[in-house]
Amino acid sequence: MLIVDASMRPDDIQRRIDAIFGRMERAEFGDERYAILFKPGRYACDVNVGFYTQVAGLGRVPGEVDIAGHVHAEADWNGGMALVNFWRGAENLTVRPPDGADRWAVSQAAPYRRIHLAGNLALDDGGWSSGGFIADCRIGGTIRSGSQQQWFTRASTIGGWHGANWNMMFLGVEGAPPTTFPEPPITTVSDVRVIREKPFLTVGARGAWGVFVPSLRRDARGPGWTGTASGTTLPLERFFIARPGMTARRINAALRRGLHLLVTPGIYPLTEPIRVTRGGTVVLGLGLATLRADGGAPALTVADVPGVSIAGLLIDAGAQSSPVLMEIGPRGSSRDHRADPTLLADVFFRVGGAAVGRADTCLEINSRGVIGDHLWIWRADHGDRAHVRVHVGWDESTADRGLVVNGHDVTMYGLFVEHFRRDNVAWNGERGRTYFFQNELPYDPPSQAAYRAGSPHDWTAYRVADHVREHQATGLGIYANFTADPAIVVPSAIVAPRRPGVRFTDITTISLGGGKGTIAHLVNDAGDAARAGAIRQTLRHYP
């Protein structure tokens, strides 16, 4: 961690920031992790944000850390292509670029949160990009999406928006464009029904460190930090500070003593899960802190308790297959936590790519009333080609399901799930809601028979169980890119019960690469096929 203080010499600050970026600009599958944390004050610097780097202010509100300069993500290292600009973040800052514009050219797992930007914002760098996520921000100028294939913006205020390609969604955003789906493909919903913003690290005027936990908001619109922002500051003394190399046994002993958990940057190999058993526990990762599930156990489990916050973590699958990488509530959980829901914010999962990884399911939610706010659940479609460590393949890095929801009243904001070998999302709970979904089906099934092996039905991107009576999802983009066998056909992108309480709005399917694979229908048997010669299809409502 680099803690930046306004008393430091500006050239020293810049030198240290540049050194971190120099190490992380190309480190897509590297092992280093960094958090650059600015204490309250005014700064003049340029912060270029590379892989596995989180840049955050430590103020109570964004205005307490004021940067005259840029806080930006570029794709220079990849010829302007931001398609793999993953795993980085900017949070809790006021940014005043001297030229009136900044750039955040990213794809998945790169949150832009709690930022006050005095200027315009570009979301691409000239080449293709596949993002992304903005939340709890105030952008004074216009956001230009450029080549972004999709984007989700939540609970923010923006000066304007320009651009749309496949699936742009706005939820509770002041200044958002109106719904025009399918041309241009913009979906706007007026407010956020229920949300708790991500907790964040702070330091007060007298040097007291803590973690601020924002209060639950209902029917929210615009950022939560304007006006009177409510919440609770937990003193840092109530946190166990984990460092790389610590065992789950030591961490669990601290959690049993009633402490919260702050996970500092690094990689944590775990042969048993971190176990959260107390309601209201905060687990906050810094600098893309990475929990690796070694030995076939989960990386983290949560009991059926209310008000837990899990935020800022990357969960890696190990070489020995885990039945599940993260479990929220044991199976059979039945307590009603809607009044004090558990939050998963900026929680990312990876199977393969950096190393061989295997899991049956990445995330299983069994508790009731859980909120997911920006999840990327990824079975890797590529690896570290520069070092000939690819670690991908149909039979090498394996995972069947990305997300399984068994709990009732679960809500997802900004859900990204990609490349799983069976149903990417399997939703079995009642009254589930998803606002924005991005999915790519697996690239690598060697044949239709191999893709369906051992199954009574074809797999899909998003399946709602037959018994479910009520479910809603809005703003869904589902894409096929069957590079190993372009003849593969997926009968339906979404499979769900045919009843009035199950509804889908603004769905897009695309056959990428000019038609590598076919998605025959969008929902059940509704909609035309995305295929070679007709690569993009849309559906406004189902039913």
* DSSP element (H, E) containing 450: helix 448-452
Q: How many helices (H) and strands (E) does the chain have?
A: 3, 44
Query: In terms of Cα–Cα distance, which of 458, 379, 398 is closest to 423?
Result: 458
CB count in 10 Å sphere of residue 405 = 24
Distance CA 401, CA 245 (A): 29
Q: Where are the beta strands (DSSP E) in 104-191?
A: 112-117, 120-122, 133-135, 138-144, 150-154, 157-162, 167-171, 186-189
Which candidate, 84, 49, 81, places its Cα nearest to that of 385?
A: 84
Contact 441, 480 (CB under 8 A): yes
User: In DSSP terms, which residues pair with 75 in a beta bridge?
Assistant: none
d(CA 431, CA 411): 9
Q: Is 514 exposed, middle or buried (0-12, 13-18, 19+ CB in 10 A)?
A: exposed
Helix (H, G, I), strand (E, B) or coil at 430: coil
> Residue 156 corresponds to which tokens in the numbers above?
């923010």
Neighbours of 335 (CB within 10 A): 14
CB 20 within 8 A of CB 39: no
Measured CA to CA, the distance from residue 517 to residue 520 in angstroms comes to 10
CA 120 to CA 97: how far, in whole Å? 9
Task: Please provide the DSSP assignment of 520-538 as one string.
Answer: --SBTTBSPPBBTTB-EEE
| Residue of 28, 74, 364, 440 with catalytic role | 440
Q: How many Å apart are CA 119 and CA 131, to the nearest integer?
A: 20
Spatial distance between the Cα atoms of 303 and 284, rounded to a whole number of angstroms: 17
The CA distance from 497 to 523, in Å, is 10
Distance CA 304, CA 95 (A): 40
Instruction: Specify the 3-state DSSP secondary structure of 12.
Output: helix
What's the N-to-C CA distance of the chain in angstroms? 51
Tell me which residue of 118, 124, 87 sits closest to 104, measured CA to CA.
124
Active-site annotation holds for 440: yes
Q: Give 332-389 as a DSSP string.
A: T-----TTS--EEEEEEEEESSSS--EEEEEEEE-SSS-EEEEEEEEE-S--BGGGTB
Considering only the C-alpha atoms of the chain, give the largest distance between any 2 of them, rounded to a whole number of Å: 66
Q: Could you give the residue numbers annotated as active site?
A: 440
